[in-house]
Copies of this chain bind each other. A is one copy, B any other.
Amino acid sequence: MPRYRLAIEYAGTRYSGWQVQKNARTVQGELLRAVREATGESATDLQGSGRTDAGVHAVGQVAHLDLPRAVAPELLRRQMNDVLPADINILGIEAVPHRFHARRDAVSRSYVYQVARRRTAFGKPFVWWVKDDLDVRAMREAAGALVGMHDFRSFTDSDPDEVSTDVLVDAVEVKEDGALILVRVTGSHFVWKMVRRVVGVLVEAGRGQLGVDQVEGFLEAHSLVPARVTAPASGLFLERVVYPGEQGVGPLRAITPI
């Protein structure tokens, strides 16, 4: 059965996340519908590198797609884009060996979060506007405490009995870019809600409400604080998924809605 690798961007605003659901509009659901409309046949498998939550965006989501019959990848891309909603866009399709698995083979993932320091007429669906002054140095210091292998139980609603909450975080970058503060979190994988809670904790640190000691404490013992400061979905983008042999991410930049 032929397998294809898809590179996908989407604005998550109108969707109940990636994962297909009954009675809800999802990105995976729209892609499955587009496959049917474009090819006249149903996908036998379509799996993303990971699920993004409701309202979360992606510029570099990767999925694998199995079809009953081989197709010309570039033609399929155009045919699917013709029937997809404007806020989901397939950037590329290529044939891959059947052993390629979008989730299991991914070696690294990065998310970018956009915090806006001012009101914006264009950016509302793509930022979190924080009105308070933020101390970027304090945010960076707190970010440093999260790098490495830690138990991120305080940062997730996943059940630690079901999913390991030990996560290796490769980097947490904080960068000023005009009216934006960008946060990029890179790691092998993440647990549910973790990135938004990391950002929420960093913003509290930037507000002077949390010190590095407290942030370190969230990794040592379970705390309800990160959950209380979860950053909204609007500012979050799945930026990049890296597979064996591929280069990691480049310099941190604002996600420009083209």
**In the complex the two chains form, what is the Cα distance from A256 to B10 in whole Å?**
17
Q: Report the minimum CB–CB distance from A242 to chain B (whole Å).
A: 21
A224 within 8 A of B: no
List of B residues within 8 angstroms of A221 by Cβ: none
- Segment of A16-24, A67-75, A100-108, A119-127 in the binding face: A119-127
A122 touches B81 (CB 8 A): no
Instruction: Please judge, given known A-B contacts A254-B256, A256-B256, A258-B116, whether A121 and B180 are in contact too, CB under 8 Å.
Output: no
Q: Which residues of B contact A87 (CB under 8 A)?
A: 121-122, 124
- List chain B residues, Cβ under 8 A from A257: 120, 122-123, 126, 256-257
Q: How far is the CA of A178 from the CA of B59 in the complex (A)?
A: 15
Tell me how far the C-beta of A235 lies from the nearest C-beta in chain B, rounded to whole angstroms: 11
Q: How far is the CB of A81 from the nearest CB of chain B, in Å?
A: 5
Inter-subunit contact B258/A81 (CB<8 Å): no
The reply to whether A258 and B9 contact each other, CB–CB distance below 8 Å, is no
Q: Which of B9, B116, B258 contacts A180 (CB 8 A)?
A: B258
A88 proximity list for chain B (CB < 8 A):
121
Copies in the complex: 2
Contacts of A10 in B (CB 8 A): 121
How far does the alpha carbon of A57 sit from the alpha carbon of B256 in the complex, in Å? 17
Any B CB within 8 A of the CB of A52: no
Answer yes or no: A83 CB below 8 A from chain B CBs.
no
Interface string of A113-151 (1 = CB under 8 A from B): 010100111111011000000000000000000000000
A11–B122 CB distance below 8 A: yes
**How many angstroms from the CA of A180 to the CA of B57 in the assembled complex?**
21
Does any Cβ of B come within 8 Å of A86's Cβ? Answer: yes
Q: Is A179 an interface residue (CB 8 A)?
A: yes
Cα distance, A230 to B122, chains bound together (Å): 24
Closest to A237 in B: B122
Tell me if A28 counts as interface (CB < 8 A to partner B). Answer: no
In the assembled complex, A110 has its CB within 8 A of some CB on chain B = no
Contact indicator B121/A9 (Cβ below 8 Å): yes
CB of A154 within 8 Å of the partner chain: no
State the 3 A-B residue pairs at the shortest beta-carbon distance, nearest first: A122-B257, A123-B258, A89-B121
